[in-house]
Amino acid sequence: MKNKFQINLSETLSFSRDELYSKKSFKFDMTLLSKQWLFLDHASNYNREQTAKTYYIFSHKILVKKLKNVFSCIILSKNLVEQNCVNPSILNEFRFYAHKKAIIIKEIEGLLFVTFNAQDAIDFDVIEQDITPLMRWHGIQKAKVAFKKSYSIQANWKSVTENLLECYHCYANHPEMCSVAIHPTITSTDSYKHVMTGVEVWKKWQSSTDAMGYPLKERTNIDYLSPQFHVIYRSPINVQHKSHSRDKSLLAPLMGSYKESDYGETFGYIGPLTLFSMPNDYAYVLRVNPMSNCKTVVDLCWLVDEKAEENKDFKLDKLIWYWDSTVAQDKIAIERAHKGTSSRFYSPGKYTKLEEESARFAIWYRKFRSDGHAL
Ligand SMILES: [Fe+2]
């Protein structure tokens, strides 16, 4: 079927000031995002008979309870509204909306996902079917939370997601990541020599991982026609790099079905607000958590095998080094971009070839706006 959104990615423009900062846009965004599923927590935090925890999601304090294996959730209160940001009445509206429509939680292999609009929530079955086999292989259900950390970023959530979906900025911004990972040779440059180096490593890794009987999953791109896009694939970390460590060694005991390291990781995103990275020995999940039109919190969560003990089986500073340094650097880059995009003299530019996933995300977002689906 011919679709007007089947357009040339290289012609797609980055987000406008109106899309990023207007009250109307943020109101639309909250309605859109309330129907999406986003990562909440790991189920191991509810391993007693009855437990309750609170979270701040979308600037609201919510209470989650688990009783006899059933999760329930209510909104407790509206959090602070940032000065100079969105009009409080917009958040009040969202609050009432959320009260009317139940908040529901779904567990997939120990990962808890939440949606704020049960009645109009996106069908999660396709995503669940696609991610379950690899989550199970990684033993995510038998994991526990090793560490959580949050960064507050002064920027619109779309600027955060746009940044997370591309690695054009990696060589300039992420020395730690680039000292470990091979993927920047493909995702951060179009230099033929670099790309071929990365492709060669990728091919050899696929052969050896396949020979070990471990799962392979080809990389795909964001489907901008999907109500909630998702991407999940396996890739090499680098030659002889067993995990995201400085010295190439494992950071924690192997998880799930791994009997030895295959030097790879599973990577992907579930909608615009959840990103994950899973080497053989730990898992990392990032939640983009919009608070207002110009403030976004990113909540980071590191998982290890449930039997792994801190200081005996893993060192926390080493475990978080790779992604913590990367997100700290992204915060600086995103806030600089925010300053630029909030200037009255800013006008959107075209995404480059190395930012195609960000362009797909922008198309996905605009499709909802033009269809009026979320309003
Ligand atoms: Fe980055």
H-helix segments, 79-121: 88-100
Q: Quick one: pLDDT band at residue 4, thresholds 50, 70, 90?
A: low
Q: What's the 330 CA to ligand 1 centre distance in angstroms?
A: 5
Amino acid letter, residue 353: K
Q: What's the 290 CA to ligand 1 centre distance in angstroms?
A: 18
Residue 232 bridge partners (DSSP): 268
Going from the C-alpha of 51 to that of each of 43, 44, 47, 101, 141, the distances in angstroms are: 11, 11, 8, 23, 18
Q: What's the 177 CA to ligand 1 centre distance in angstroms?
A: 9
Would residue 246 count as lying in a domain? yes
Q: What's the 365 CA to ligand 1 centre distance in angstroms?
A: 21
**Lookup result for tokens 């909104």:** 75
222-248 pLDDT, tens digit per residue, is: 999 999 999 999 999 999 999 999 999
Would residue 20 count as lying in a domain? yes
Q: What's the 265 CA to ligand 1 centre distance in angstroms?
A: 17
Would residue 105 count as lying in a domain? no
Nearest to 294 by CA among 161, 155, 163: 155
Would residue 76 count as lying in a domain? no
Per-residue confidence (pLDDT) for residue 78, from 0 to 100: 59
Q: What's the 96 CA to ligand 1 centre distance in angstroms?
A: 35
Q: What's the 178 CA to ligand 1 centre distance in angstroms?
A: 11
Q: What's the 266 CA to ligand 1 centre distance in angstroms?
A: 18
CB 311: neighbour CB atoms within 10 A?
7
CATH of the domain at 314: 3.90.380.10
Would residue 107 count as lying in a domain? no
Average pLDDT over residues 263-269: 97
Give the Cα separation of 11 and 85 in Å (integer). 31
Q: What's the 271 CA to ligand 1 centre distance in angstroms?
A: 18
Q: What's the 374 CA to ligand 1 centre distance in angstroms?
A: 29
Q: What's the 69 CA to ligand 1 centre distance in angstroms?
A: 37
Give the Cα separation of 103 and 85 in Å (integer). 26
Structural domain that includes position 259: 9-33+142-369
SS3 content of the chain, % helix, strand, coil (to 5): 35, 25, 35
Name, of 39-48, 62-71, 152-161, the range with top average pLDDT: 152-161
Pairing of strands 38-42, 111-115: antiparallel
Q: What's the 208 CA to ligand 1 centre distance in angstroms?
A: 29
Amino acid letter, residue 241: H
Q: What's the 138 CA to ligand 1 centre distance in angstroms?
A: 25
Q: What's the 298 CA to ligand 1 centre distance in angstroms?
A: 13
Q: What's the 169 CA to ligand 1 centre distance in angstroms?
A: 6
Query: Does position 1 have pLDDT exceeding 50, yes or no?
Result: no
Q: What's the 201 CA to ligand 1 centre distance in angstroms?
A: 22
Would residue 311 count as lying in a domain? yes
The answer to whether residues 115 and 37 touch, using CB atoms and an 8 Å cutoff, is yes
Edge to edge, what strands does the sheet with 283-292 contain?
Answer: 143-153, 295-305, 283-292, 274-278, 264-270, 230-236
Question: How big is the CA angle at 131 (ends 183 and 50), to the nearest 5 degrees?
Answer: 120
Q: What's the 98 CA to ligand 1 centre distance in angstroms?
A: 32
Per-residue confidence (pLDDT) for residue 2, from 0 to 100: 44
The three-state secondary structure class of 150 is: strand
Name, of 92-101, 111-120, 304-313, the range with top average pLDDT: 304-313
H-helix segments, the chain: 17-21, 23-34, 88-100, 125-137, 157-164, 170-173, 175-180, 184-187, 192-211, 316-341, 356-371
Q: What's the 174 CA to ligand 1 centre distance in angstroms?
A: 7
Residue 231 bridge partners (DSSP): 269
Kindly state the percentage of the chain with pLDDT values over 70: 90
Q: What's the 63 CA to ligand 1 centre distance in angstroms?
A: 32
Q: What's the 227 CA to ligand 1 centre distance in angstroms?
A: 25
Q: What's the 87 CA to ligand 1 centre distance in angstroms?
A: 30
The pTM (predicted TM-score) of the whole model is: 0.91
Nearest to 321 by CA among 341, 302, 308, 307: 302
Backbone angles phi, psi at 115, to 5 degrees: -130, 145
33-55 pLDDT, tens digit per residue, is: 999 999 999 999 998 766 889 99
* Torsion angle of C-alpha atoms 223, 226, 228, 234, degrees rounded to 10: -30
Number of domains in the chain: 1
Q: What's the 329 CA to ligand 1 centre distance in angstroms?
A: 7
Would residue 111 count as lying in a domain? no
**Lookup result for tokens 């090499």:** 236
171-213 pLDDT, tens digit per residue, is: 899 999 999 998 888 887 888 888 788 889 999 999 999 999 9
Q: What's the 336 CA to ligand 1 centre distance in angstroms?
A: 13
Would residue 157 count as lying in a domain? yes
**Lookup result for tokens 């009255």:** 344
Q: What's the 116 CA to ligand 1 centre distance in angstroms?
A: 28
The three-state secondary structure class of 41 is: strand
Nearest to 36 by CA among 269, 358, 272: 272
Q: Quick one: pLDDT band at residue 16, thresholds 50, 70, 90?
A: very high
Per-residue confidence (pLDDT) for residue 97, from 0 to 100: 47
Q: What's the 41 CA to ligand 1 centre distance in angstroms?
A: 23
